[in-house]
Amino acid sequence: MAHAAPKAEGLHDCREAWASTLETLAAADPRIVAVVNDSVGSSKLGGFQKKFPDRLVNVGIAEQTMVGVGAGLANGGRIPFVSAASCFLTGRALEQIKADVAYSNFNVKLVGQSSGIAYGELGPTHHSIEDFAWLRVLRNLTLIVPADPWETAEAVKWAAAHDGPVYIRVSRMPVPDLAVPHRVFRPGKAELVREGHDVTLIACGTTVHLAVSAAEALAGEGIAARVLNMATLNPLDEEAVLEAAAATGALVTVEEASVRGGLGGAVAEYTALHLPVPVEMVGFPGFVPTGSVEWLFDHFGLTATGIAAAARRALARKH
Amino acid sequence: MSHITRPVSHPANPLDLIREKALWMRRRAFRMVYEAQLGHPGGDFSAIDAIATLYFGVLRFDPQQPDWPERDRFIMSKGHATGALYTALCAAGYYPEDWLETYMQPLSRLNGHPNRNYLPGVETNTGPLGHGLPVGLGIAVAGQISGASYRTYVLTGDGELQEGSNWEAAAVAGHRKLANLTLIVDRNRLQQGARTEDTVTMDPLDERFRAFGWEVAVIDGHDHAALLKALGSPVAQRQKPLCVIANTVKGKGVSFMENVAAWHHGVPNAEQFEIAMKELV
């Protein structure tokens, strides 16, 4: 794939990797179709539409039907990728995701675009910081949050080959390629981005590279922070969480999402039951005020500085 | 493996068979509800004639291969009417009759609403209203894309059409001219708590569907010949999706249930059960 070689420089919109990967897959597999809610442009599916006009199903601005149609297409032997802004896909069509996709267990791939607070100043109606909490409880819906273009492409390829419902959360925010050598995409497994023994930073999606920067800053203070890329929220890599809790004794979760019920919630649920250790959560407390993406990240501590501060708080709670 | 699959063959004149099966379904569904003391018999009985007509006069399917790709699809969008659906699938050969005895018992495959992962013949899990038509639309679009010749039938309640998702799907089906999609509206004019027209006006329902780009047939939903003619009409003869508005009677066939809203999820006592068994002959 075009994104096979991670680079340490340059920033990318992961939607490009999503769209080019889907086009490549669709050329090889006629069962692959795309379903959109007037979201061809925002899903970067213009190229797909040109190449496969009959396999682009645009239901108009109708998210409930969009997801229901996805389930029906799966019933009819297609492999549908249902792609729309994640706020509307997950919020408006939540019951369809629950009943038609997850409970019915159809082979539908849901792709939430421009997730998190990517729409910045447009406000909480257009933000998707609740999707982790809403979808994580659907046990058979694999929930993947890629951190960079390579991981996005790998997640899309894996989802196409996997028989079962999947949600992939794609960002439009510029992110760098993660500098991890010899990467292998393993759904359901945390990726060790940086080793450390004092504290573990568990991040996903757009925040993984920020956690890496935080770890670098902490290293300057003599704190060795482990960084895990928890690209799959469901099923959670419980083994990696347990190992991190045991080995480092303090955890920080970082997500471009609500701190309630998402990655932090998943980690806290698991450690509370199996190995209670201090957990600090970095994310959004709820509906956020007006502001640009950069301002919101900064204001709520989704920065190297903010994550490092959370790490120090977690360390201070460690006995 | 479609080449080894043989769909069930319907007799040239299936009306006697449909009548016989519909009667058996009513009796068996009522027994099921009586024994479980749970269910939705009123809506079962309004829908049973349409469903019996589909399974014993119209649909191409093979109960030995529920996932046969070329099968016609039937979606029971009003998923609460399990008495109608479960007896139909049983009569159609998907599973033995003793399964019906487990209805709503712990760990039964016969949940209060149908589950495709447990019960062969169920196309999609329904229960929340307004889900069947969008899913049926997707199945029909899949056929349109792949060129498959199967047909897709969805049955909704009439009160169910108050769910906006139906109208999203109706608009898309009309736009795409999906002649392989048929919607049957079980027009019994009663929803859970009241008359549909006292709740939210639905008439003129036929004009509404025509305006959305559908061909519409308004028929007596208990007249097997009329149902057979409408539901069996060749797809090639139309350029639009078909909406069959089946005018029905909630609780049809049992005197004390007919047109009584309380029988939406009412269940019979022993005396009522005996009366019904005497009437359903």
Instruction: Report which of B5, B133, B47, B238 is spatially closest to residue B55, judged by C-alpha positions.
Output: B47
Instruction: Return the closest-CA partner of residue A90 out of A114, A72, A74.
Output: A114
End-to-end CA distance of chain A: 47
pLDDT 10s digits, A200-229 = 999 999 999 999 999 999 999 999 999 999
Answer yes or no: is pLDDT of A165 > 50: yes
Instruction: Show the domains of chain B with their CATH numbers.
Output: 13-279 (3.40.50.970)
Between CA B237 and CA B240 the distance in angstroms is 9
Nearest residue, CB atoms, B131 vs list A54, A74, A99: A99
ipTM score assigned to the predicted complex: 0.95
The two tokens of residue A6 are 């991670």
Which chain B residues are within 8 Å of A67, Cβ to Cβ? Answer: 134
The model's pLDDT over A258-272, given as tens digits with 9 standing for 90+, comes to: 999 999 999 999 999
Structural domains in chain A, CATH included, are 11-176 (3.40.50.970), 191-317 (3.40.50.920)
What span, in angstroms and rounded, lies between the C-alpha atoms of B154 and B150? 13
CA atoms in the 13 A half-sphere facing the CB of A122:
12
- A38, containing H or E segment: none
The radius of gyration of chain B's CA atoms, rounded to the nearest angstrom, is: 18
H-type alpha helices, chain A: 14-28, 46-51, 63-75, 86-92, 94-96, 131-136, 149-161, 208-219, 238-248, 263-274, 293-299, 304-317
Out of A55, A59, A104, closest to residue B145 by CB: A55
Higher pLDDT: B3 or B42? It is: B42
Residue B3: per-residue pLDDT: 54
Residues from chain B contacting residue A72 (CB–CB below 8 Å):
124, 134-142
Instruction: State whether B139 and A104 contact (CB < 8 Å).
Output: no
**pLDDT per residue as tens digits for the range B28-71:** 999 999 999 999 999 999 999 999 999 999 999 999 999 999 99
Rounded Cα distance between B133 and B150, Å, is: 16
**Interface-testing mutation among A65, A98, A163, with chain B (most B C-beta atoms within 10 A):** A65
Whether B271 shows a pLDDT value over 90: the answer reads: yes
Mean pLDDT for the stretch of residues A126-145: 98
Pair of tokens at residue A297: 């990240």
Closest-CA residue of A relative to B75 is A72
CB A253 within 8 A of CB A202: yes
Q: Is the pLDDT of residue A6 over 60?
A: no
Residue A94: pLDDT over 50: yes
